[in-house]
Structure formats: C-alpha cells, structure tokens
Amino acid sequence: MAAYRADDDYDYLFKLVLIGDSGVGKSNLLSRFAKNEFNLESKSTIGVEFATRSIRVDDKIVKAQIWDTAGQERYRAITSAYYRGAVGALLVYDTSRHVTFENVERWLKELRDHTDQNIVIMLVGNKADLRHLRAVPTEEAKAYAEKENTYFMETSALEALNVETAFTEVLTQIYHVVSRKALDAGNDPSALPKGQTINVGSKDDVSAVKKTTCCSA
Amino acid sequence: MVNKRVPDWLNSSMWQSPPPASTTTAAPPPPPPPIKPPSPPSKPPSVSSSDGSGNEAREAREPAGSVQKTEVRDPLLSSSGGNEYDADPVEDVSRQVQLSQELSKKIINMGELQRLASLGIPDGAGIRSTVWKLLLAYLPRDKALWSSELAKKRSQYKNFKDDLLKNPSEVTREMEESTSSQNGDETREGKGLLSRSEIPVDEHPLSLGKTSVWNQFFQDTEIIEQIDRDVKRTHPDMHFFSGDSASAKANQDALKNILIIYAKLNPGIRYVQGMNEILAPLYYVFKNDPNEDFVINAEADTFFCFVELLSGIRDNFCKQLDNSVVGIRSTISRMSQLLKEHDEELWRHLELTTKVNPQFYAFRWITLLLTQEFNFADILHIWDTLLSDPEGPQETLLRVCCAMLILVRRRLLAGDFTANLKLLQSYPSTNIGHLLYVANKLRSHSHS
C-alpha cells in the first residue's frame, strides 16, 4: 500500500519551484499541498524553503521536491540559483492585486533565463476566495497563459480549492514529458539503471528516474 | 569511521547531551525551575491588576476601560523546561546581581558588561532592556550623560517622524502656507473668500516630474505596502505583535514607522524583507521595560538601536554586495569554512556527500540573526550573546550557526539530502545555554 511506502521509495523525483511576488500566497500553497495546512498570517519567506510530497501518476510514484522562494526583488539574484534543475514551476499571482499579475512577465523571463526550455510552467491565480476583491479577471489571465504557452489555474490555499489539482497537473505533465523522452530514446524509463538522470531539466542533478528496488514495503 | 582531523574535544559525549550544570554547582542540579517572570509585567488572567511591582505605572498608561492584555502565550514563560545549564536559578540570580551591580556604577565598564551579558541576561527586572541599549552604544557608558543623550535622540526621532511620515498633501499645504506667509498675504481670510491652492506645476499629483513629492510618494507606496505586509506577519503567533487588539495594532504601527523612516533615510538599501524580524526583538524588549519612561519612548529608542545593529550586518541585505567579500554569499562561505575547520567529517558529508549547499539553510539563519529558527525566549537569549560581541554580532553568529550543525551532527551524518535540508530548515528546539557554550568553544579552537 502506498501509505506504507518509505519516503524515498519513488519512481521519479521532480523538482518544482514556486515563484511570484511577495505576499501572493506561495508558502501557503506549498503547506496546503505538502501538509494540508494553512496559516492566515505566515512568516515571510527569506531565502528558500523546501518540502516534499509523493503522489501517484499512472502506476508510478512521483516524488515532488518543491522549493518555495522569497518574493521580494532583492532576493531574486539569490533565489535564481535555486532554479537549477527545476523541471516544473508554479508562477503565482494574487487575483486580488493586479500588480502581482503585471509582474508575471518579469517572473517568466526570470524562469526562462535560468531553466531549461522544456520546463513545465503553470500560471496560478491564488486567493480566488477573495471574490469581492477580485482585480484580475479569469479571462485575462487565461488569455495571457495561452499566449505564453503555460498552463493556468485559479486556486485558493485558504479554501483548499484546486491546490491539489494544480500541483498534480504540473507533475503529471512533467511525467508525460519524461516518459515521452524516454520512449523517444528507445528506453523504458523503468528499465533505466538506478539513479540515472533523465535529461528533462538540462544539467539537472535532482530530477531523476529511479528504479524502485523493491516492489512494496 | 572517525575523521582524524576531528579533535578529541569534539567527540566528547558532552556534545550530545548537556554538560554538567556548571562548575559552581557541585550538588546535582535542582529540578528545572519555572522560568522567572519575565520583564513584561504580564499576569495570569486571574490575578487582579495591581501587584505593586511597577505594574501600576503601566496600568495608568492604558486608556480607561481598556482591558489589560493578558499575554497568555508569553514566550518568556513558555520557554521549555529542563534547561539546567542556562536556567540554573543560582547562576541566574548571581548574574542578575552582578549585572545590577555593574549597572549601578557611575561609569559602566563595558568589558565587564559584555562578559556578563554574553552568558545570558536573566529575564527579570528589566535588565535586558538597559543592557542592550548599552551594548548597542545607544546609552553612553557615563550615566551622567544618559538623560541629555536620550532627550536629544528622542527629539531627533520626533523630527524624523514629522518630516518623513506625512503625506504629500501635507507637504504641499505647508509649502503653500510658508509662501503665503512670506508674501504677508494673510488678509484673504478676512474677505470671506475661499482661497484656492496655488500648487506649483511640479508638485501636482499628476505631474510626471521626477522631483515631484507625489512621484516620490508613489514610489514610497510600494515599499510601504511591503513593510505593511511583513509587519503583519512578524511573529504571528505572539499577541504582542499580532491580532486585532489595540496594543498589537499600536506595536505594529511602531514597527512600521521605524521601518519606513529607516527606508527613507537609507535610499541605498531602503527596506528589505527580513528587517522586520531584526527589529522585533529590540522593540519587544524595550517596550516591556519596567520603567515607564522607556516604555513611552520605546519606538524612538528602538529606532536608533536598530540603526546601530543593522550597521554591522546591513551588507547581508544588500543585493549589490551579494558577490563581494562582505556580502551574504561570502559570509555563508565563512560559516562553511568554520565547520570544515572544526568538523571536517560533518562538512564533507553535508556539502560533498549529500550536496546540501549551505545557502539553502544558512541564508536565513544569518540574514535574520536566527530569529526564525527558535522560540522568542530563546532568540532573546541568543541575542544577549550576539550583542555582547564588541566586534559586532557577525563572528559570534557564525560560531553559533556552526555549533547548531555540530549539535545535530549524528542526525546529519545519518541523513540524506532531503532529511538534512528539512532538519536544518526547521531546526529542533534545543538547550540554548548549551548551544552558546559549544559556540564559544569554537572560538577558543579556531586559532589553534
């Protein structure tokens, strides 16, 4: 049973980053996904914070290693180092603060400058629960996401709305990219030697396919 | 397999369990005492208001009818028990007596004060508030100068507030007033006409001029909103800082004022996230002084102490210096070198085997002076030591960070990347007296 599998018993390990302006709710999205927790007032993130969670995609265990980053501009030079090896990104804005949506463009550039071009990106409009304060119309964000060729979803970490779906969608898409790549290369990903790196995130040292050595715990 | 570079003292069993209470207590340590009441005159809900220990003064300040806040979750009270090393009541009392003696002198011996304070300042009697002001050179050594010096600084702060915290309408109105009074044009009112403001083109809110007070205002707004967001989430678990109570709101306003004034006076660095965390312990300690004069002026006093403290560590906040020898990256490398020097096996395992880049955890440790790693009472205790270093807090801080790694070395040596990073990003609560003891030990070995 999955619940009894050891923490490091996984088939794939994918590194994701959470980016976006300060105060859009990145840390709460992460704690909702990783621990099912939410804090109305959580401390600001300085540097990076880190969490993991494993989910099942098809018949595989995918372990997500998620890096939550500081939002303020000052920390950008430092946090860009954490992008290394990321195969997925959730680019978060606050649906009730338009300026955080305007800055999405800068964050996208940041991502594209520091990560592999195959990275799976999802634009995430968080705080969708603040309906009376909405400043970014869904259609506007959706159109932007289409133009930029990213996935899109509106979430509420507070109401646990779409958080699970957003992360799962990104991880599933990465999984598809990875398995397609492996097929293209004529390899069955599960047949790769233990620890061999799949080259989805370029000089990636984290995201790896790992052959499970034992079927069940 | 023990690395041969690890000196004997490092493998002593002492590292894994707290050392004997102290050299002065031959008898077995007494059971952990309830931590002495902290300097803030907080009371359990059932106790009535006046208990004669300086509380009346504080009560008197409260607006009539307001409910005295009961700091049920006061961090100083919630400090974990079992700290025989640092909470030894005999030690505490004798240190409190020694510190009080030092403070009663006409001219304070800073060397002695630093030595005593570095061992930890007992939480009672409001000593910490005064000692920190001395350590940060806000109060001069010569007590005869205190009142004049305080008066000068407090009036200076009042001027900063008057000049820097008003909005542009007030600025333009004053400009207009000063012009009209210069023209001797004070007869208008007598004619019963409403005067129309003559706003210079440059100062119109819609002016695109870079020098316009409104342009400056809009730029400031972004920073002020950032400060506002961060102040609201400073120690969100403490009633003193957080919540809807009038006192929490007033405390938040004070923190905001200080950060805004600092940002405006320091345009090169402005406000950087995390400064709020550096500010909070200072303000908390000063605001909880038993002396009412210090309570009333806590905001002004905190401002100057904050400036002084930040002057020693501000390079960590400065993006432009990230890659310089004084920037945060180089500071983190120095911590890493210190670890390598003292415990190469652990260093090798962390950085080479499990590839835990020290930036992943030490960035926050160092930038925030450990304020997000421990509970509040423990933070104050660590800061007693940091602030006592005559060279500034940084070197002591690096030793404390290094000691934090060494104290969990067994778990780290058994851990992989994920386990180690999780452990270091949420460091387990520990005996702070012991941690500081180990950190100090690194000092004596670092040049051998």
pLDDT value of residue B445: 56
Task: Show the CA angle centred on residue A21, arms to residues B309 and B169, nearest 5°.
Answer: 70
Residues 6+ apart with CB under 8 A from B351: B336, B357, B358
Flag whether A76 is in a domain.
yes
Flag whether A52 is in a domain.
yes
Structure tokens at A163: 């958080």
Structure tokens at A146: 């289409």
Flag whether A199 is in a domain.
no
**Chain B neighbors of A28, CB-CB under 8 A:** none
- The least confident of A171-175, A180-184, B172-176, B235-239 is B172-176
Compute the nearest-CA separation of A22 from chain B (Å): 8
Pick left, alpha or beta for residue A162 (phi over 0 → left; psi -120 to 50 → alpha; otherwise beta).
left
Closest CA to A110 of A144, A141, A70: A70
The model's pLDDT over B356-404, given as tens digits with 9 standing for 90+, comes to 999 999 999 999 999 999 999 999 999 999 999 998 899 999 999 999 9
Flag whether A212 is in a domain.
no
- The least confident of A72-86, A87-101, B5-19 is B5-19
- Return the residue in B219, B223, B224, B226 with the most chain A beta carbons within 10 A, the one to mutate for interface testing: B226
User: Does A35 reach chain B within 8 Å, measured CB to CB?
Assistant: no
Set out the domains of chain B in order of their start, with CATH numbers. Answer: 2-19+29-60+76-83+318-444 (1.10.472.80), 94-143 (1.10.10), 144-311 (1.10.8.270)
User: Does A84 reach chain B within 8 Å, measured CB to CB?
Assistant: no
Which pTM was predicted?
A: 0.78
Q: How many CB atoms lie within 10 A of CB B408?
A: 18
Nearest CA in chain A to B327: A78
Residue B45: pLDDT over 70:
no
Structure tokens at A210: 């790992």
Closest CA to B213 of B153, B170, B252: B170
The model's pLDDT over B117-141, given as tens digits with 9 standing for 90+, comes to 999 998 877 899 999 999 999 999 9
Bridge partners of B64, per DSSP, are none
Flag whether A84 is in a domain.
yes
Length in residues, chain B:
448
pLDDT classification of A81: cutoffs 50, 70, 90 = confident
How far the first Cα of chain A sits from its last, in Å, is 8
Total structural domains within chain A: 1
pLDDT value of residue B31: 43
Average pLDDT over residues A152-166: 98
**Residue written as tokens 């509106």?**
A154
Q: How many CA atoms lie within 13 A of B232 on its CB side?
A: 12
The residue range of the domain holding A86 is 12-185
State whether ipTM is beyond 0.90.
Answer: no
User: Does A72 reach chain B within 8 Å, measured CB to CB?
Assistant: yes
Q: Which helix (H) or strand (E) holds B110?
A: helix B110-118
Bridge partners of A52, per DSSP, are A65
The model's pLDDT over B174-213, given as tens digits with 9 standing for 90+, comes to 666 665 555 544 444 445 555 555 666 666 666 656 566 6
Strands A88-94 and A151-154: unpaired
User: Does A160 reach chain B within 8 Å, measured CB to CB?
Assistant: no
Q: Report the CATH number at residue A164.
A: 3.40.50.300
